[in-house]
Amino acid sequence: MTLKLPKLNPLHPMLLLTMVLVAITIIYLLTLAVNHSEAEDSIFYILGVSREETANPDLYYPHHVLFMTFNRLVYHFWLFLGYDGNAQLPIQINNVIASIAILFLIYLVARRLELTVFWSLLCLVAVAISYAFWWYGVEAESYHLSLLFILLSAHRLMLLAESRFEVRHFVWLGLFVAMATLFFQQHVLLIFFIPLTIFLLWYLQRNSLGKGLLFSGLTFFWGIAGTIIAAVYFFIAIVILQLDGLGEIIKWSKGMAEGDKFWIPWSWTAPLESIIGFWRTVWGGHFLFGFTWFYELVSHLFPRIVFLEEQMMGQSLSPGIRWLCLVMMIISSVCAVLLVVLAAIGFQRLFPKYNLIKPKIIGFMFFCVLMFLVNAIFITVWKPYTNEYWIALLPFFYLGMVWLIAHSGQIKFATVTSLIFLMTLFIGNLLGGILPQNNKDADYWYVTNQYFIRHAQPNDLIVSNCEQLCGRYLNLYTGATVIWKITGDNFQELIEKQVFNHHTGKIFISSTILEPPLPSFRKGKNYSAAIQTTFEQLKKSLKKVHEDQFQVVWEWQRP
């Protein structure tokens, strides 16, 4: 079953597509990220790519093993052309380019699903203005390059369905899946569920395709994907990082999942956090934290999550903007519910006639379901609230929903509802999620460390216990050496080995060593007592140079 396509001049759809993509490109370039509190790993990537050392282990972070290496090459090309800044802008431009390529692929897939130009463009725009896709597309982050290869894989599956299972399609699939995995390790899951889609495509055409084509194709797919992934990881581990033994290589490749860190402590709120995480992928919702009642509610419901950054962003908006964004979110949410109902109607109309639907469309929809279910389960047991992990599901969610809506039989109502959804979503995300993060006065870690940013120099030492992201902010904006992870057991050793032996610049000590700003860094009475004892010994050599609502700063006076 297909939709009847309108008769259009062949240039007309491409002209519309070009205009839409150019408009999105301009919007993205005008909203390049200034603050990095939301996408906290961006500073890690900026610092890692910008470092001058060629043997920099940070370039080969195992969860995104090719991301920084690729951006390092691009960054050096920029330097060759005369650019003299750090790697932030080059990485952001790479992500904007990747975003536009992804949106173009979404359009191509939508057209292969035999959607009209209108519905194809609508799907493209819906992805582009969804909060997480937009924000991570203008940040120095790592998720869009992998998504580009996932969409190439999905497009290739549709080409495979239209072919006689030629080997070249399996070769391309293996390459695309390998690249998606090397840019984001989570997508190794594709190796396991793409073959299920391939099997379905073969089964739907089994009368004209022999079993040998299926088995040989899967062999090529697994062989190429597995070989490329293994070759890259082993080359980096053995040749570049010079790790010894398979145990060390496996330990490195697991990254954050090493040991008992693979699963977060299970909580009854994890499924709810997953729903919120996916919801925040569409609606940023930062403006909500400007409402005291909302901040207190979510702080009570999710005590293990700290919302200091969101609170400052929300409070930076005027009450009028907050209420406008709230109205936009409510309207777009109502429209979203109505569109889900229309999608259900479309499914109900199509299901009895599934045998009339082309194999390529059935296969793609099956892939969408697997993509969503497999990753949703993984994310729920890994980091459910983190919206960056849900970004890869957005295009497939929208493509599946739009295809069903287009077959609902309620085209006029669906068209009006969809346009209202897009308009309100754009306004709400722009004013309530994107623009607040382009204001340094609303950036919690930038504001709290103003003294250091103004006064610290690259040869200085800063001792602060304000957590990893804060430490990265200090590294990025001051260039100073930062000690940010302090315990009662290691404080005395840090003082003796690093503070007393730092001879090239000033030494700043923050009161966050006594009272860290984040609850997870507060270790109780034993921690406080151990730090306090060492601090009292230092106090006679300290001169208070700054005090504000966030911290007191002392400068150590050398004897």
* pLDDT at residue 362 greater than cutoff 80: yes
Q: Which two tokens stand for residue 399?
A: 């493509």
Q: Put residue 210 in one of left, alpha, beta given phi > 0 → left and psi -120 to 50 → alpha.
A: beta
What's the average model confidence in pLDDT over 472-493?
82
- DSSP annotation of 55 reads S
pLDDT band of 8, cuts 50, 70, 90: very low
Q: Over 80: is that where the pLDDT of 130 sits?
A: yes
Does residue 266 carry a pLDDT above 80?
Answer: no
Q: What is the mean pLDDT of the chain?
A: 88
Compute the average pLDDT of residues 254-265.
60
pLDDT band for 525, please (50, 70, 90 cuts). Answer: very low
For residues 436-444, average pLDDT: 90
Contact 204, 362 (CB under 8 A): yes
Helix residue spans in 81-143 (DSSP H): 88-112, 117-129, 131-137
What's residue 263's pLDDT? Answer: 52
Among residues of the chain, what percentage have pLDDT more than 70? 92
- Give the CA dihedral 462, 466, 471, 476, nearest 10 degrees: -90
- Residue 77 confidence (pLDDT) above 90: yes
Q: What pLDDT shows up at residue 6?
A: 46
Closest CA to 510 of 441, 443, 449: 449
Per-residue pLDDT tens over the stretch 196-230: 999 999 999 888 888 889 999 999 999 999 999 99
Q: Bridge-partner residues for 522, per DSSP?
A: none
Domain ranges of the chain: 12-437, 443-556
Strand order in the sheet with 507-510: 481-483, 461-463, 507-510, 552-556, 542-547
pLDDT in tens, 281-295: 999 999 999 999 999
The three-class DSSP label of residue 291 is coil
- Return the percentage of the chain with pLDDT > 90, whole number: 64
Q: How far is CA 345 from the centre of its chain?
A: 32
User: pLDDT tens across 309-327, in order?
Assistant: 899 999 999 999 999 999 9
In angstroms, the CA 452 to CA 26 distance is 34
What φ, ψ does residue 407 adopt, rounded to 5°?
-105, 15
The tokens describing 161, both together, are 């369905």
Q: What is the DSSP string of 244-257?
A: -HHHHHHHHHHGGG
Q: Residue 33: what pLDDT?
A: 93
Of 179, 191, 160, 39, the closest CA to residue 98 belongs to 179
Nearest to 147 by CA among 199, 117, 104, 115: 104
3-state secondary structure of 64: helix
- Enter the pTM of the model: 0.91
The pLDDT tens digits of the residues spanning 94-116 come to 999 999 999 999 999 999 999 99
pLDDT for residue 1 is more than 80: no
Q: Which residue has the higher pLDDT, 6 or 342?
A: 342
Task: Find all residues with CB under 8 Å of 84, minimum gap 6, and list them.
Answer: none
Asked if the model's pLDDT at residue 544 lies above 50, the reply is yes
